[in-house]
Every structure is written in C-alpha cells, then in structure tokens.
Amino acid sequence: MSPERYARIRTMLRMRQTDLTVCMEQVHKPHNLSAVIRSCDAVGIHRIHAVWEEQDRRVRAGTSGGSHHWVEVNSHDDIGQAIGHLKAQNMQVLVTNLSDSAVDFRDVDYTRPTAIILGQEKYGATDQAIALADQDIVIPMVGMVQSLNVSVAAALVLYEAQRQRQIAGLYDTQQLSEEECQRILFKGGHPILRKVCDRKGIPYPHIDEQGQIEADEQWWQRVQMSPEALASLEDED
C-alpha cells in the first residue's frame, strides 16, 4: 500500500460516523442495494443493517463502485431483531412512511444517534417496522407520484443528516477505535494478504504510518505456510 493510499484511507476513517446508519428491510434489487451503499459510504456511514431473504444476502461486486468494500453490512433475520439491536445502541429509529404522524425529514435532529429504516421497493416498510420505529418521516412531494425510489430517498435523508452533523462538528473527531481502523487498513490496503489471513485464520498485522505491514518473522512464515502446515504448527503450540 502506497503512503498516498494509506493517507486517503486514514482520512476516510477519521470521518466515519459510527452512530448513523440505515436498515434496509427487504430491499432486494441489486441496483438499489448498491446505490444505497454508495450513498452511505459518501456520507461517512461505517456500518449498515439489512433484513432480507437468504438468497439476497449479498452485495453485487462492481455495482457500487467498490463502496461495498468499505461499508460493513450486518444481516438480521427479521425487522424486530434489527430494530431491537439498533435501539440497544440508544439510536432513534426513523422510518420513511407517509402517515398522519409523519414529520418532514428535515425537521429531525440527526446529530443524535440515528437509524433510518428503508422499506421494500414496492410495498415500503412493514407494519411491524412502522410500529417499532420512533418516528415516521416523509419527503415532501408536490407532484402526482407519492414516493421516490428507495435509493433516492435514502440519499436525500442521508445528506440532510450529513449537513447537520458537519455543522455540529461531528466529522471533526474520529469515532472509530484504532483497533477497527487497523483492521480496515489491512483489509483495504493489502487485500491479497487479507485473503490469505482469512483462509488460514492468521490474525491481521499492524499497519504503520507509511501503510506498510509491521509483523515479526513468525507471522510472515505463517502467511507463507500451507493451511495444513499451519494447523500442524498450531497443534504443537
């Protein structure tokens, strides 16, 4: 990894927002998934959540401009589990839904820990998601149609959140732990060695300020070993 790439990744990591996220509920069209992830990466979201069918538990490589490599995706079996997980992190849970109690999405305080539920393309959020959310939000529309594409709606809400957070200075202080930064630096800066480590079960090494790996001779020997030889060595330990 070049020093320039290291600096670029470090800059990105310093501005990642750990307490802003989205949860996609049965959003299944690949172009929508990719567009939402791209917007999340652009505004600095570190981790997103999704509830989807088993066959949809994937992000199509190459369709999100590589952003799927930088945004963590947590999968959940159902929306109740997902919202419970988000509320356990003291997040306000918003859902895009046209209702009598809905408020303009721009009237929400996004400097608070926030999760935004995005419903399925055709039917929107489920009744359960709406019941469990803290607040319905809407994007005002004066045309003949009543809704926007889910990825467009996500981008509008996320950029309002970014605007508020920038004014509040939330992008000025690093939120990610150094341990998490190190993991991402190795994963994104040394992808081939990362695959070797994952395959062999080898801990990730430390990355120095030039983007280079800091590891002892034993680590390098393990990387070069076959999985069978590595397993034999670990049995001896």
DSSP per-residue letters across 139-208: ----SS-----HHHHHHHHHHHHHHHHHHTTTTSS--S-HHHHHHHHHHHH-HHHHHHHHHHTPPP-EE-
User: Cα separation of 237 and 147, whole Å?
Assistant: 60
pLDDT of residue 235: 58
Answer yes or no: is 148 a known binding residue.
Answer: yes
Q: May I ask the CATH class of domain 17-167?
A: alpha beta
Mean pLDDT of 203-212: 93
Structure tokens at 47: 């981790």
Which of 17-21, 128-132, 184-188 is predicted most confidently? 17-21
Query: Is 173 labelled a binding residue?
Result: no
Q: Which of 229, 217, 224, 221 is nearest to 196 (CA)?
A: 224
Q: Return the residue matching tokens 């400097």.
A: 111
- Does 118 carry a binding-site annotation? no
Domain with CATH 3.40.1280.10 in the chain: 17-167
The average pLDDT across 203-208 equals: 94
